Structure 1
Amino acid sequence: MTERLTRRTQLAILATALLSFLGILIETSMNVTFPTLMADLHVSLTTVQWVTTGYLLLVTIVMGASAYLLKRFDGRQIFRAAFLFSLAGAVMCATAPDFALLMTGRLLQALATGLSTPLLFEIIFTRVPKRQLGTYTGLAEMMISLAPALGPTYGGLFTNALSWRWIFWVIVPLIILVGVLGEATIRTKASRTAGKFDVLGLSLLSLFFAVLVWAFNAAGQTGFTSRSFWLWLAVAVVLLGAQVIHIRRGGTQLLDWHILRDRVLSLRLVTYFLLQFINIGASFLIPLFIEDVLGENALVAGLILFPGAMIGAIVAPFAGRLYDQHGLRRLILFSGALVLLGTGLFSLLTGQLTLALITLLFIVLRIGFNSGFGNTMSEASQLVPVANKADQNSLFNMMQQYSGSLSTGMLAAVIAAVGTGRSVRAATRLGSGLGFALLAGLALIALLAAVAANHLSQKETSATR
């Protein structure tokens, strides 16, 4: 690892970060379009939410294979594939005459994000000196966090003023420019240490992820007490058991699961997963609440999220610098406490929420999220040897994306399940209250996991002295 970054490496980081940024910009801009898409394409909420859930699910699957891909293919090859998928997906979505083609385009964009984001962190974790790791991870997170800051406003602006199709048309020239930049700067070489690809492992993991999300989709249609929900949930449990057996038998593996034997890393993964679950969940609930309960349009919903997401994005590099200087222990507690405070107040005050109060609480939530999220991954990268950094990168990115997919599917199911016999406004109000309560409970678990990891880390440090 070099002690100083070259300009080319800095531009390579910028190119991959921008491609990820564009993918997440579209993802977050779609949340405010749901009511419009439901009317234009004649689909229900449980169907239209697959624009986000299906996208995140496929991103998760691709990231699950990224440990193998990063060891097998050079960075430029991976970037080229991501660029082509992103461009083709944007054009397909912009011209889609129906939901099926829109969904196909979103899946192509999912392939792009699933390739570009692990590549971004692979460049950072292998090329950036340890003393600057938090800073560059923070800068990358800032770029990625700018997408949720701009996404709802960007999506609301075009949906309200022109058409949701312009969300995709506008980014086409930007994708081309990013592709040119990446082609000129990305030079990372694969280690060529990848063995045989674990087809069975990826298949089992993909089926488990998909079936679990589908179980909540069934709950949204028939309720959480329905036979359909419990049947799909049982299938998910069986698939998880099969995956565990496959891992224990050894042989070819999707990634080196042995890194999870490190209890500190496992607890950091729990916190990381739950922070993203809460982040995506809140970004899903708030626009629906603003539009369906408060009666505002998509543009207003996007503008309300903008201050919090922008402030959170600005916080990320400063939090990264604090991590480089002081470590994660206090920073992750600060992060967890703010996220718990934000979600707790959303839950307690659901019936009294106004646009101003939503703006304030979302600022609190995003400051907390961006203070700890990227730094948790930076810390995890330091807990594994160099040979396992691609495995850790793949695992964390995979679980980050799946948390978003599961969050959207689960919360959509809650709102749909309580909607029977109620108006859209009443169902969204009640479902949002339950959803915020769920997020607050998970925020408490994330904070407790952070406390436990800090305790174990301190014990291990004392034992080595």
Structure 2
Amino acid sequence: MRVKLAILSAGLLSFVGILVETSMNVTFPTLIKELHVSLSTVQWLTTGYLLLVTIVMSTTAYVMKRFDAKNIFIFAASFSLIGGILALVAPNFWILLVGRLIQAIATGLSTPLMFNLIFAKVPKQKLGVYSGMASVVISLAPALGPTYGGILTSIWSWRAIFIGVIPIIIIVGFFGISTINEKAIGIQKGTFDYIGAIALAIVFTSILLTFDQAGNYGWYSIRFWIGVILSVLFLGIFLLYANKGRRKLLDYRILKLPLLRLRLFNYFSLQLINIGMSFVLPLFAQTVLHCSAMQAGLMMLPGSLIGAITGPIAGRFYDQHGAFSPLLTSSILMLVGTLGFFFMTKSLTVMSTTFIYVVMRIGFNTGFGTAISDGSLQVSFKNKADQNSLFSMMQQYAGSLGTNVLSVVISATIVMHADRSTVINTMNGSHMAFLAVSILGILVLCSVIYAEMKYGHQRTDN
């Protein structure tokens, strides 16, 4: 019971962070008016938050080996509370952004902590079930966020989003302090790889800023293409350092494992589609379908609830039968959903959007926990922290990149067709965003089939 409560405490702290993150997506039209900022600026509440979460997660392979779990949890809970209070009283957009960035540090620590507790304490034969339940925390929050944020914004204010979660943070903090007592999972020798952390942050930030230039100036702008060149250059330098440097944020040698790479691609892509669509759909509903923030949030509620049930069921099936069936089902349903949005963009209604989103949520929850569970079985115990840090880091960056790219696709459409109405541009931009995630869905399906054909006979059990 203590282990279960410890996992639950870390999970709920992650849940709060992700819930607030996706709750803010529904408030964007309101924030644009109240705080006098553009769409390309306000989306940094999500993109910047997820970027910092990603950077923090890149350090957790070191942190989990160096510090006791309770100390990490206390630090994370404190930052979540401080950031929430600052965002609640923020007089302008930039103070609000600072508050959200402080909370990003908390989420960046609590999510890997949750999975580390699972991988360290849960018996091997129950790993899929617990990972499925953890995936519910990660996936239910983004789906409930628009509903939670939409209702509070419509009947009260966007600030009520933070009023609602501050008591939860305090309660979860007391539970975590009482139940989490795991020691550092290993002795970390040497100093922290500051150069590697800074280099990784530069790479991730440069990619996001590059797409941001397309949103502000169009895909054909010189600023966008200069950004592309610089991003490729920074990426090359980082890869050289990761390969040759003595100190490393994590053991990148685990990426030499081909099946782990494929599971990481599944995990990354599913989250990119998931978070990206949780940004596009509320915006589409409010701008094109003329829904209120509450209606836009409620539109996504059935999918979140049904999807939440799917995660543990898929995890149990994985424990008994392996990864291929749940991953294949996941990729097919995700592709059906994204293609449904693409082909029906101009005829979408609230009801049809809700139904297609349900299909997507079932697909997402069927494969998300399975991908990280099967990935964890590809590495030895000494590399569990590295694998956990890598997957957690890329999962968050997938959300940041998904929000950034899909918002840029819509913003670029507005920039390049300024003579058209906002409704038409948002609809056309969303249509292209749906095409982008559909192409990614096809690649996910191909990767699952390839993995089974090439490595189906291998099931590493370290």
Same fold per TM (> 0.5)? yes
5+ long unaligned stretches in structure 1: 1-6
Partner residue, 1:432: 430
1:231-271 deviation per Cα after TM superposition (whole angstroms, max 9, x unaligned): 11211111110111112214111100000101111011111
Q: 2: distance between equivalents of 1:239 and 1:452?
A: 31
8 Å contact 2:80–2:102 — kept in the other structure?
yes
1:54-100 deviation per Cα after TM superposition (whole angstroms, max 9, x unaligned): 00000000001110000111100110110011000110011000001
Letter in 1 for 2:37: V
Letter in 2 for 1:83: A
Aligned equivalent of 1:237, options 203, 216, 232:
232
Partner residue, 1:4: none
1:395-421 deviation per Cα after TM superposition (whole angstroms, max 9, x unaligned): 000000001101111111111111131
Matched, 1:255 2:250: yes
8 Å contact 1:60–1:399 — kept in the other structure?
yes
Partner residue, 2:357: 362
TM-superposed CA distance for 1:305, in Å, is: 0.4
Matched, 1:57 2:54: no
Q: How many aligned positions are there?
A: 457
Partner residue, 2:271: 276
Matched, 1:221 2:200: no
Partner residue, 1:45: 39
Q: 1: distance between equivalents of 2:198 and 2:229?
A: 18
Partner residue, 1:125: 119
Aligned equivalent of 2:6, options 2, 12, 21:
12
Letter in 1 for 2:435: A
1:111-190 equivalences under 5 Å are 111-190=105-184
TM-superposed CA distance for 1:460, in Å, is: 4.0
Q: 1: distance between equivalents of 2:454 and 2:104?
A: 36
Letter in 1 for 2:73: F
8 Å contact 1:135–1:324 — kept in the other structure?
yes
Letter in 2 for 1:57: L
TM-score by length of 2: 0.97
TM-superposed CA distance for 1:382, in Å, is: 0.4
DSSP-derived class of the 2:46 partner: helix
Q: 2: distance between equivalents of 1:446 and 1:325?
A: 23
Partner residue, 1:443: 441
8 Å contact 1:26–1:151 — kept in the other structure?
yes
Q: 2: distance between equivalents of 1:139 and 1:460?
A: 25
1:157-207 deviation per Cα after TM superposition (whole angstroms, max 9, x unaligned): 111111000100111111000000000000111112343211111111110
Q: 2: distance between equivalents of 1:33 and 1:418?
A: 21
8 Å contact 2:197–2:249 — kept in the other structure?
yes
1:392-403 equivalences under 5 Å are 392-403=387-398
DSSP-derived class of the 2:259 partner: helix
Q: 1: distance between equivalents of 2:194 and 2:50?
A: 20
5+ long unaligned stretches in structure 2: none
RMSD: 1.2
TM-superposed CA distance for 1:459, in Å, is: 4.6
Q: 1: distance between equivalents of 2:219 and 2:375?
A: 36
Matched, 1:264 2:259: yes
1:109-162 deviation per Cα after TM superposition (whole angstroms, max 9, x unaligned): 100000000000000001101000001111112233221232111101111111
Matched, 1:320 2:315: yes
Aligned identity (percent) is 50
Matched, 1:299 2:294: yes
1:250-304 deviation per Cα after TM superposition (whole angstroms, max 9, x unaligned): 4111100000101111011111111111101111111011000011110000000
Aligned equivalent of 1:103, options 97, 111, 132:
97
State which drifts further: 193-202 or 433-442.
193-202
Partner residue, 1:33: 27
Q: 2: distance between equivalents of 1:461 and 1:178?
A: 37
Letter in 2 for 1:223: G
Partner residue, 1:3: none
Q: 1: distance between equivalents of 2:458 and 2:270?
A: 25
Letter in 1 for 2:87: C
DSSP-derived class of the 2:434 partner: helix
8 Å contact 2:133–2:312 — kept in the other structure?
yes
TM-superposed CA distance for 1:31, in Å, is: 0.7
8 Å contact 1:264–1:456 — kept in the other structure?
no
Partner residue, 2:408: 413
DSSP-derived class of the 1:419 partner: helix
Letter in 2 for 1:340: L
Q: 1: distance between equivalents of 2:189 and 2:213?
A: 38
Letter in 2 for 1:458: G
8 Å contact 1:71–1:194 — kept in the other structure?
no
Q: 2: distance between equivalents of 1:423 and 1:404?
A: 29
